[in-house]
Amino acid sequence: MKEYFKNVSKISYEGPESKNPYSFKYYNPDEIIGNKSMREHLRFAMSYWHTLTADGTDQFGIGTMIRSWNNENDKMDLAKARMEAAFEFMDKLDLDYFCFHDRDIAPEGKDLTETDSNLDEIVTICKDLMKKNNKKLLWGTANLFSNPRFVHGAGTTCNVDVFAYAAGQLKKAIDITKELGGENYVFWGGREGYETLLNTDMEFELDNFARLLHMAVDYAKEIGFKGQFLIEPKPKEPTKHQYDFDVAAVLAFLRKYELDKYFKINIEANHATLAGHTFQHEIQTARINNALGSLDANQGDPNLGWDTDQFPTNIYDTTLAMYEVLKNGGIAPGGLNFDAKVRRASFEPEDLFLAYIAGMDTFAKGLRVAYKLLEDGPIENFIKEKYSSFNSKIGKDIIEGKIGFNELEKYALENTSIENKSGRQEMLESIVNQYILEDK
Ligand code: XLS
Ligand code: NI
Ligand code: NI
């Protein structure tokens, strides 16, 4: 087979002292942390779209990326070359999983029939390469946002022909995800939102969106697809307001339409920050609602108000994200998908490797630190102590549902001295720093 990344050989772990940029400093895949290997904790995945398909185009200029498969002129030849390159890339980076949209891997044809047959041809090749290279599909998804037909949305469109098309496309995307052994299936509602309420029936759109998701659940049952369904929240972009705004909004939607037992949540760091939350907040919100499904690993730019999808390099954030993942008992069957792209000026193929190494090392470091923090327990113990007044006497009675307003009023009337204790935020932040700096 052709070699697409000639200048880069297999990346291996060399440890934190290494000065070789083409090596892992913290990600040592088979090293055991607690009860499982780093590979099993982190379940890293390659995003097909940002890695193979994207070319660096932005609103102000055309693509910049130098990619050895770009000399293929025929669309299907290009799709095949990309697929081969994808597996070489995963192999060289020791990535076990990948994720894709239907339209990333195969081009659209003149109609849905031709598009589906393009997909089938590529899926056959993909399946074979997966077997040969021992790679797995973390999740598949349908791109229901790029084509102009989705201008008013897919599940939330006003046009029944588009709704039907979306359903047909979705059905096929679930079929191929099953065919490739996908462990999850993601719904990201790229155009499921509005620009103005002046032309929108929000209630109708949400009802219809729920109808589409119920059909997906029914279809999965019909064909025996066992993967976990996931919704990926994002507050805005491309629409001004996306219905799946954040974890809390998605949970409310799922519960209203009785979809909550079929769906968990795929949380993306940059979407969390766009919603005005931290990544940790979103993960914790999902975790305490038993809805943490998977993570899209990336980071935004604090000075920019859009989804910059940068590779994660902030150790503080990855530490707190992994802290939540560990408290959740792991992320499987989800994983950590690098929904991240190299900057437009990082156009050499080598930059793709350097970016993934940065992201993988940053999460590996976060995992190490989070594990130690949990094991030693300075944060857990502090929090436990902070709420300890609810462990005995009247506090315990409240928790056990034994008393109401009358008893509490009596207690408050008799209790003349209320004493609070410090929240010690700065001390705790300093402890996290200490753990990050101490870990070698
Ligand atoms: C876009 C989303 C998208 C989903 C998959 O902002 O992150 O890439 O992850 O459709
Ligand atoms: Ni994403
Ligand atoms: Ni995104």
Q: Are strands 193-194 and 292-296 parallel, antiparallel or unpaired?
A: unpaired
Place of tokens 């979705």: 170
101 is catalytic: yes
Surface-to-core class of residue 217, CB atoms within 10 Å of its CB (0-12 exposed, 13-18 middle, 19+ buried): middle
Q: Are strands 336-338 and 44-47 parallel, antiparallel or unpaired?
A: parallel
CB of 215 within 8 A of CB of 250? no
Q: What is the pLDDT of residue 344?
A: 98
336 Cα: distance to centroid of ligand 3 (angstroms): 13
Counting atoms of ligand 1 from 1, which one is nearest the CA of 237? 6
395 Cα: distance to centroid of ligand 1 (angstroms): 45
Domain limits, the chain: 12-376, 379-438
- How many other CB atoms sit within 10 Å of the CB of residue 18? 13
Q: What is the pLDDT of residue 1?
A: 79
DSSP string, 218-260: HHHHHHT--SEEEE---SSSSSSEESS-SHHHHHHHHHHTT-T
Can you state the angle between helices 378-386 and 349-376, rounded to 10 degrees? 50
300 Cα: distance to centroid of ligand 1 (angstroms): 14
**Local structure of residue 67 (DSSP, 8 states):** -
Q: Which ligand approaches the C-alpha of residue 186 most closely?
A: 1
What is the spatial distance between Cα 122 and Cα 103, in angstroms, rounded to a whole number?
11
Instruction: From first to last of the 440 residues of the chain, give the pLDDT tens digit.
Output: 799 999 999 999 999 999 999 999 999 999 999 999 999 999 999 999 999 999 999 999 999 999 999 999 999 999 999 999 999 999 999 999 999 999 999 999 999 999 999 999 999 999 999 999 999 999 999 999 999 999 999 999 999 999 999 999 999 999 999 999 999 999 999 999 999 999 999 999 999 999 999 999 999 999 999 999 999 999 999 999 999 999 999 999 999 999 999 999 999 999 999 999 999 999 999 999 999 999 999 999 999 999 999 999 999 999 999 999 999 999 999 999 999 999 999 999 999 999 999 999 999 999 999 999 999 999 999 999 999 999 999 999 999 999 999 999 999 999 999 999 999 999 999 999 999 999 87
Q: Which long-range contacts (CB under 8 A, 24 or more apart) does 417-423 make?
A: 421/386, 423/386
| Binding-site residues, ligand 1, Cβ < 6 A | 101, 141, 186, 188, 232, 234, 268, 296, 307, 339
Q: Are strands 184-187 and 228-231 parallel, antiparallel or unpaired?
A: parallel
What is the spatial distance between Cα 159 and Cα 141, in angstroms, rounded to a whole number?
22
Is domain 12-376 given the CATH code 3.20.20.150 in the classification?
Answer: yes
Residue nearest to atom 2 of ligand 1 (CA): 188
CB of 349 within 8 A of CB of 397? no
Catalytic choice (41, 50, 94, 101): 101
- Three-state DSSP at 426 gives helix
- Three-state DSSP at 177 gives helix
